Amino acid sequence: MKLVEDYVVPWVKAAEPYSDKHMDIAWENPQVIRLMSNENLIAPSPKVVEAILEAARLGNLYPGSGPKLRQKLGQAAGLSAEHVVLGNGSTDVINFVVHTFVGPGDEAVISIPTFPMYEARVRVAGGVPVQVPMTADFYWDMKALLNAVTPKTKLIFICSPNNPTGNQIRLDDLLRILELGIPVFFDEAYFELENTVESRARMVEQYPHMMVNRTFSKAFGLAGFRIGYLLCDPHLASYFNRVRIPWNVSLISIAAALVGFEDSDDLEAKRQNVIAGRDTIFAEINQMDGLRAYPSEGNFVLIDASALGLSSAEIRDRMEARGIFIRPMSGHNMPRGFIRVTIGTPEQNQRFIHAFRELADEVRH
């Protein structure tokens, strides 16, 4: 008799499960400062909480497709509700986009380092992630990226601002990619936190093979409710609606997103907290001997701490011992000694700076 695993498709067997062990540890230790997952460390507003409680009273009913929310999201982007597809977080959006375009043996081009979920979902679909290293200063290697495209390429991923480097792709380079005519997943998860570049959402009208991804997990601080959305050509949206699971976004999530999206004062307060915090951490780290913080337009800062002579994991462990969780970058196609820190509240940011300076002094003495 065959074992049940003999029936599992080979590409799923070969895939590695996403590890969220760090998240479980953080939940088990609520006293730690969570600067490892690019969450928004400011809790949802009272208006959002009230909307959630109201929606809970209707929890016996299936949610719809969120037409009112989709209308508001589309309108804000200069588009229509038909341009919007909701997802159970951006990971769900990534998943149904990948399964729409990528089958066994198909290729998806991904510049690295970037959000690892792109590679993970491509592998689960049986696809081949073609990973193109960025340049030494962490910009898209355009020559290598364009050369990586083959007749098997079905999808190209661009994250801008990019996680974990924090920078954005230039418009002229994005246009070079779009001119290939291949589907492009353009991830604007950190769009609301930018200072320098407008959203590219309206470009989906001119380039119907382009999709723009957004989330409520970062600037809006609703990560626990799992809601993201895709802005794309309505005809393309019709295919995604065939692939996504029906009722993939809960009634509570839709209610939270609708109120959170309309609460401009709360969003601006959260946004200013992130901008001020990343400016502070950027400045403080760059004043420490031998260390380098990279400019960022996300809710995080990438740090080259290789001068400390420790591995990324060793830095993580020593910071964890000080009650602060950060993300080591060695497992994310980055050099030894690189870490990423999420922007927290002013107090949390100061505690991180103090602990990191203490760690640096300890190592050097």
- Phi and psi of 112, rounded to 5°? -125, 150
CA-CA-CA-CA dihedral for 105, 94, 246, 53, to nearest 10: 160
Mean pLDDT within 78-88 = 98
pLDDT level of residue 347 (50, 70, 90 thresholds): very high
Of the candidates 212, 280, 315, 298, the one whose C-alpha atom is nearest the C-alpha of residue 37 is: 298
Could you tell me if 163 and 298 are in contact, meaning their C-beta atoms sit under 8 angstroms apart?
Answer: yes
pLDDT at 95: 98
pLDDT at 272: 97
Is a pLDDT exceeding 80 seen at residue 365?
no
Q: Give this prediction's pTM.
A: 0.95
Q: How far apart are CA 40 and CA 221, in angstroms?
A: 5
Is a pLDDT exceeding 80 seen at residue 106?
yes
Which tokens belong to 86?
Answer: 């909701």
Map out the domains of the chain with their CATH numbers. 4-43+265-364 (3.90.1150.10), 46-262 (3.40.640.10)
pLDDT at 220: 97
pLDDT level of residue 1 (50, 70, 90 thresholds): confident
- Convert the pLDDT of each residue in 175-215 to its tens digit: 999 999 999 999 999 999 987 778 999 999 999 999 999 99
Average pLDDT, the chain: 96
Of the candidates 44, 89, 34, 113, the one whose C-alpha atom is nearest the C-alpha of residue 342 is: 34
Is a pLDDT exceeding 90 seen at residue 84?
yes
